[in-house]
């Protein structure tokens, strides 16, 4: 039977699939935490939002969690309420994104951290995120940033008169306030114990019943040149991303697959679980309906599998092998050490940049200072000193005005919404 050829190729994927399945996130309670108009926020969403990786992706000026402070669960819930309000507002205003820009940003992150697609998926899984979840977070971040730019940033213009009046009132506080602004740019660090992901001792698997797989095959010959294999893999990655972001797998199979099942959308038909070879059982027992595998390279092809349907399966918990757990802990430790080094490096670079900016601002020559004309609000002596810190003043003032505008806007959205907190 031709399908047996595919089974041989599936065997090659077991190590990766078993490992990623072993690091699935813990199951949270699904109690309702809050209702925001028509949106429901679950307790699981609140707990997930507290994970260090997700916190690093929340970079919106919401004004809820004080700078440098690790949030409480109630602060995270308040934050999620505002995020849902903003998402609803973005939908009303028809704010959309270019998918290519999002994918380009994610690819840049992978490149900057020297991670392959498989390593990136593994890193996300170790932090309780799937690739699809991560991409949704990035889309949300970009979309809400675009909304805030439109509704807040552009609506808080700063005039020279505003800046000079601010300086006249706060001249003795400028350097201190500017340093606070720089410090606020450094992300809060979680308590040490929350940095380490909770590695589960058990995993959920499915047994029995029938499953229906779809398959995409991109052929590569055994003597295909490496550069040509890379081109095929790039095509496979594009197909994978399209499938992850909602494209119909069956249509993608008809368009790209190069096997006998392509015409039927890669449909391999229903198979009895008990009749499958052990290797195939091991793969599909970790898959839920709607799951797909990343591109898998064998000697003859690059494959992707999609679990299209399942009937009469039973779910049960089984222990995760100690060897797998130790491997995960080893990889986590290595990744943790790398991230800690990155944090120190970034913090150092930010401080050097801030010190450099401060030095430049404080060392404007008298000739340059005279070229900056004031509006008569400041005395000649004040004008001279103001010219040295003008950039700082504008940045401080812009931050304060933006925060005030953001607060007023969010308060307005809340007044016009129905919000019910359950926790």
- Compute CA distances 90 → 32, 95, 218, 366, whole Å: 24, 5, 39, 48
64: Cβ contacts below 8 Å, ≥ 6 apart: 71, 75, 78, 79, 82
pLDDT at 192: 55
Dihedral of the alpha carbons of 191, 197, 198, 200, in degrees to the nearest 10: 180
| For residue 125, pLDDT beyond 50 | yes
| For residue 151, pLDDT beyond 80 | yes
User: Mean pLDDT, to the nearest integer, of 15-44?
Assistant: 60
For a pLDDT cut of 90, what percent of the chain falls above it? 19
| For residue 384, pLDDT beyond 90 | no
How far apart, in whole angstroms, are the C-alpha atoms of residue 69 and residue 83? 19
Mean pLDDT of the chain: 78
User: How far out from the chain centre does Cα 134 lie?
Assistant: 4
User: Mean pLDDT, to the nearest integer, of 349-359?
Assistant: 54
Fold of the CATH domain 3-14+203-314: Chitinase A; domain 3 (3.10.50)
How far apart, in whole angstroms, are the C-alpha atoms of residue 176 and residue 337? 33
User: Mean pLDDT, to the nearest integer, of 114-122?
Assistant: 78
| For residue 194, pLDDT beyond 70 | no
How far apart, in whole angstroms, are the C-alpha atoms of residue 292 and residue 294? 7
119 pLDDT tier (thresholds 50, 70, 90): confident
| For residue 271, pLDDT beyond 60 | yes
49-90: pLDDT as tens digits = 888 778 877 778 888 888 778 888 899 999 999 999 999 999
User: Mean pLDDT, to the nearest integer, of 351-357?
Assistant: 55
167-188: pLDDT as tens digits = 888 888 888 888 888 877 766 6
The pTM of the full predicted model, rounded to 2 decimals, is 0.55
């Amino acid at each position: 039977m031709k399908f047996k050829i595919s089974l041989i190729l599936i065997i090659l994927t077991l190590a990766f699939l078993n490992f990623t399945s072993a690091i699935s996130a813990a199951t949270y309670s699904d109690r309702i935490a809050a209702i925001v108009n028509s949106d429901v926020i679950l307790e699981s969403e609140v707990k997930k939002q507290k994970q260090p990786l997700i916190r690093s992706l929340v970079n919106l000026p919401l004004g809820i969690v004080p700078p440098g402070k690790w949030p409480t669960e109630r602060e995270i819930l308040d934050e999620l309420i505002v995020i849902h309000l903003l998402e609803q507002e973005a939908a009303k205003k028809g704010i959309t994104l270019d998918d290519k820009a999002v994918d380009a940003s994610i690819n840049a992150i992978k490149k900057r951290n020297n991670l392959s697609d498989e390593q990136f998926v593994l890193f996300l899984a170790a932090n309780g995120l799937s690739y699809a979840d991560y991409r949704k977070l990035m889309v949300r971040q970009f979309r809400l940033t675009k909304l805030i730019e439109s509704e807040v940033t552009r609506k808080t213009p700063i005039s020279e008169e505003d800046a000079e009046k601010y300086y006249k009132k706060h001249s003795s506080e400028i350097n201190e306030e500017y340093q606070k602004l720089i410090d606020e740019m450094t992300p809060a660090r979680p308590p040490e114990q929350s940095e380490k992901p909770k590695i589960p001792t058990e995993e959920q698997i499915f047994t029995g019943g029938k499953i229906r797989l779809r398959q995409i095959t991109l052929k590569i010959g055994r003597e295909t040149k490496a550069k040509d294999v890379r081109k095929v893999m790039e095509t496979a990655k594009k197909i994978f991303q399209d499938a992850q972001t909602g494209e119909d797998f069956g249509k993608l199979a008809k368009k790209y697959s190069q096997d006998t099942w392509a015409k039927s959308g890669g449909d391999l038909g229903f198979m009895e679980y008990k009749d499958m070879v052990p290797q195939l059982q091991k793969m599909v027992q970790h898959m839920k309906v709607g799951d797909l595998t990343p591109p898998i390279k064998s000697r003859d092809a690059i494959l992707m599998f999609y679990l299209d349907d399942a009937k009469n399966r039973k779910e049960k918990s089984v222990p995760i092998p100690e060897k797998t757990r130790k491997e995960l802990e080893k990889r986590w430790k290595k990744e943790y050490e790398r991230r800690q080094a990155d944090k120190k490096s970034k913090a150092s670079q930010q401080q050097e940049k801030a010190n450099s900016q401060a030095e430049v601002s404080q060392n404007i020559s008298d000739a340059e200072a005279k070229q900056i004309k004031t509006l008569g609000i400041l005395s000649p002596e004040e004008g001279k000193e103001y010219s040295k810190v003008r950039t700082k003043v504008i940045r401080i003032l812009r931050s304060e005005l933006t925060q005030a505008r953001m607060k007023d806007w969010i308060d307005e959205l809340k007044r016009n919404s129905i919000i019910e907190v359950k926790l």
